[in-house]
Amino acid sequence: METRARLVDAGRRLIGTRGLDGVAVAAITDEADVGVGSFYNYFRSKRDLLDALIVEVAGLLDGVLTRATARLTDPAERVAACVRHVVHLTRRDPTWAWFVLRASDADSRLAASVTAPIQRHVLAGIASGRFTVDDVAVVMTAIGGAVLYVMRATLLGEIGPHGDRITAEYVLRLLGVAPAAAHVLAARRSALEPEAAEPHAVA
């Protein structure tokens, strides 16, 4: 299991740096400091490794965001907390963030894993009348695109330290929350408590 964990960690780092197509199995085993044959004891191919990584990363992120919203009851605060935490995690763990972005180019399931926890709260807000949304699919696509773009811009240093709050505010406005209320909700300290651990460190 230690060997498998080393391969998974190496795969996450290299795919995050180079993308799936830019990484050979031999590079992964070199990074993990194991023989090439060891890779095939655990994975049939790079795609098999990517599948395992998607399940792991999605599960850990879901756990982080679930804990981050556990004390909140307002769907709007929960959405804001999820958005802000994802941007904060991008700053705190660039390796994780680059993996999400570059692996999403190879498999859309990873991008969906970022928005899945947010969608739960969006649907709850629609059901309770907190949000006004005509087309959930379109809105979630817009939210997902915004969050992923902000993640990339954050990694490239194109967005300042308040990018998480501003992004959360505009996501709430997209959901029909009045601008003034969205500004207040996105800025609440509760949106960042409790502080989340980096996804890769939760396992």
CATH number at residue 121: 1.10.357.10
Is 6 inside any structural domain? no
- Mean predicted confidence (pLDDT) in 163-171: 95
Is 41 inside any structural domain? no
Measured over all CA atoms, what is the biggest interatomic distance in the chain, rounded to whole angstroms? 59
Question: pTM for this one?
Answer: 0.85
Is 172 inside any structural domain? yes
Domain span at residue 69 reads: 56-201
Q: Which stretches within the chain are classed as H helix?
A: 2-18, 25-32, 36-42, 46-69, 75-92, 94-104, 108-128, 136-155, 163-174, 179-187
pLDDT in tens, 80-126: 999 999 999 999 989 889 989 988 887 788 788 888 999 999 999 99
Q: Are 160 and 173 in contact (CB under 8 A)?
A: no
How many domains does one find in the chain? 1
Residue 1 to residues 8, 26, 38, 41, 198: CA-CA distances in angstroms? Answer: 10, 19, 11, 11, 22
